[in-house]
Amino acid sequence: MANGQDVLTLWYIGKPMKKLLSISPLSAIVCIQLVCISLTMPFDVFARETTESQLKSAKGRFEVRLEKSVMIPMRDGTRLSTDLYFPIGGDKQLPTILVRDPYNKNRGRAKTPAQETYFFASHGYVVAKQDSRGKYESEGIYSPPHGHEATDGYDTVDWLSKQAWSNGKVGTTGCSYPGETQMLQAPLMHPNLAAMIPQGAGGVIGAANGKYNYWAGFKGGVLDHRAGMSWYATAGIKYSLKPPPGLSDEEVRQIRDFYEPNAIHVPEMDWDKLMWHLPLVDVMKEAGAPPNDWTKLVTAEFGDPWWHEEMGFYDGTEEFNVPALHMSSFYDLSVDDTAFAFNYFRDKSVSKRSADNQFLILAPTEHCGWDDATEHTTVGELDMGDTRKDWNGIYLQWFEHWLKDIDNGITGMPKVQYFVMGLNQWRSAAAWPLPEIDYQNFYLHSDGSANSVFGSGVLSKIKPTDEAPDLFTYDPGNPVPSIGGARDLPGARDQAEIEARDDVLVYTTKELDRGIEVTGPITLILYVSSTAKDTDFTAKLIDVYPDGRAYNVQDGILRVRYREGFTKKVWMEEGNTYRIELDMSITSRYFQPGHKIRLQVSSSNFPNFERNLNTGGNNFDESEWVIAENTIHHSDIYPSHLILPVIPEG
């Protein structure tokens, strides 16, 4: 067809579709099962599982026309390549749904209903899928992960809203990086940005909540090691070979097929070997990776303006004016930041319309994995039961309301929807954290030998008196391996291998006579000593089954030099005891009768997080380490304790 336009038909398949590509912590692919509902379906659909009748109403009524590689100009003249998907026979003026993606927009061209491009277009939207600046077909140089995404998103919304076929309203969607691009442009408050669905996108929060939890960067002051390295070496490449600037759209289309996307050869990289490489700052050189911003990432101090001004992370000054449906999952590395964003957008909104229309959905899955839900959704090694919702119905009604002015009841859904693991039920609430939370202290006890699951560690509500502290040796040459969580080997996984180690302290309650629901933020207060100037402390919350299986629920880490704030470094002195607070993120977990609640404490979780070399130096430029003798105190003076957000029965 002329002008680079193809006509594609969205066909019907009468059962849930598997995604074409799997979603990992490093991917950013929003793949939606082909499910939809009647435009007039009542609101109570959101409280039910997907039914067979809903699964069979999959096809939108429009066929789809694709206009390839439209070059949209940004304010500095750089043009970003954008595919436009049009519903054939739709209204003359249509709303637009924008997805901005650094991972090759051409993936959306596959003739399958598993793509959000064809799904939304078949329901009467223009869908714009765009390569980020410097990526694939787009012009420019790729900046650090979020460098130009805010202004490029704003300029793209501006261009889309002014087209003759536009009704002036633009919505955005996408998970992971395409979710973060939405978050980044939101504070610029383009008047035509009518609604957002940012998914798995809490990583942009940065300094706004005081945690400095930068995605592919740091958590608790510790480098997000394995995920960050592999992302920067592959997806974070700065340069690519492209056609010369200044060509017309038609000239660009004529030569696109002769250019391999990105035209960059990325060498094979053995990350199982590279993750051990020291010094950390040189790992990209060791890997032979193309140019990227890894060096700046690992050397920038917290509080450096670079994080906000160039990386684009929030700094606490943002304001908003857009309804947003925030989505994440409990085994996502930034689920707590997504929950924070839900409140932050509401509290910093400049209009009542925006403040009153912030919503939050928290699934039990791994990163961007809720669309994979089945009757037996497996997360890691654990069956979470039936976690399904009519996700497409929710997405469609959200955009129908905000982009088509259809009063379909979507804004009457609960402000918060969350899945209680263990009970395996969806629940709803008016706020997060839940106002009825009873924060309960569970104190650490032992006779001084809580080392491993075979030790004497106990977790109870009784305050300790005079008890011997627990000591363990942290050797950076033999770190505790990462099993389960939100990164390497993600999800819920049996901790038997971890808990057999002497450098892991294990504290366990008695069998529970009654079930306990833990829903909300988890905090661990530790009183610690060390022979090192600086070290890390790690923790995991565990659900122990009657047969002995022990599944990780949530985890946390803190570099002790940052115990007084992440923009201040304070070293330890041998012989002194220090109070530290570990943020262990959020969860919703029901510990069933007969189960036990367990806490693991150690000083490493590798390769999910970098090893602290214990020298008190920069860590990123060092190749030698010091073995640390670390101590956890639990006594009347030093009452180390876990704080759990318990939901009262009834």
User: Is there a contact between 521 and 506 (Cβ–Cβ < 8 Å)?
Assistant: no
Nearest to 539 by CA among 508, 587, 505, 496: 505
| Residue 189 neighbours by CB distance under 10 Å | 17
CA distance 513 to 174: 43
Structure tokens at 239: 């340069």
Catalytic residue among 176, 334, 602, 603: 176
CA distance 292 to 228: 12
Q: Which residue(s) pair with 517 in the sheet?
A: 590, 647
Catalytic residue among 367, 401, 595, 633: 367
Nearest to 412 by CA among 362, 363, 357, 361: 357
Catalytic site includes residue 57: no
CA distance 414 to 185: 26
Q: How far is CA 224 from CA 175, 232, 303, 367, 603, in A?
A: 19, 12, 18, 15, 15
CA distance 543 to 534: 30
What beta strand segments (E) does 367-460 contain?
A: 378-379, 382-383, 416-420, 425-429, 438-445, 458-460
Catalytic site includes residue 332: yes
Q: How far is CA 428 from CA 161, 414, 591, 606, in A?
A: 35, 6, 19, 35
User: Is there a contact between 197 and 324 (Cβ–Cβ < 8 Å)?
Assistant: yes
Nearest to 451 by CA among 601, 556, 322, 569: 601
CA distance 141 to 134: 4
Q: Which residue(s) pair with 378 in the sheet?
A: 383
The C-alpha angle 487, 491, 496, rounded to 5 degrees, equals 100
3-state secondary structure 393-409: HHHHHHHHHHHHCCCCC
Helix (H, G, I), strand (E, B) or coil at 565: coil
The beta-carbon contacts of 624-628 under 8 Å, at least 24 apart in sequence, are: 625/476, 625/477, 626/476, 626/532, 627/473, 627/474, 627/475, 627/476, 628/473, 628/474, 628/530, 628/531, 628/532, 628/535, 628/603
User: Is there a contact between 225 and 607 (Cβ–Cβ < 8 Å)?
Assistant: yes
Catalytic site includes residue 401: no
- What φ, ψ does residue 2 adopt, rounded to 5°? -70, 160
CA distance 464 to 90: 69
3-state secondary structure 79-123: EEEEEEEEECCCCCCEEEEEEEECCCHHHHHCCCCCEHHHHHHCC
The C-alpha angle 106, 107, 108, rounded to 5 degrees, equals 85
Nearest to 129 by CA among 30, 230, 234: 30
Catalytic residue among 332, 337, 390, 543: 332
Residues in CB range of 54: below 8 A, 6 or more apart: 35, 36, 37, 45, 390, 393
What's the Rg (C-alpha) of the chain? 25
What DSSP element (H or E) covers 337?
A: helix 335-347
3-state secondary structure 566-621: CCCCCCCCCCCCEEEEEEEEEEEEEECCCCEEEEEEECCCECCECCCCCCCCCCCC
**Catalytic residue numbers?**
176, 332, 367
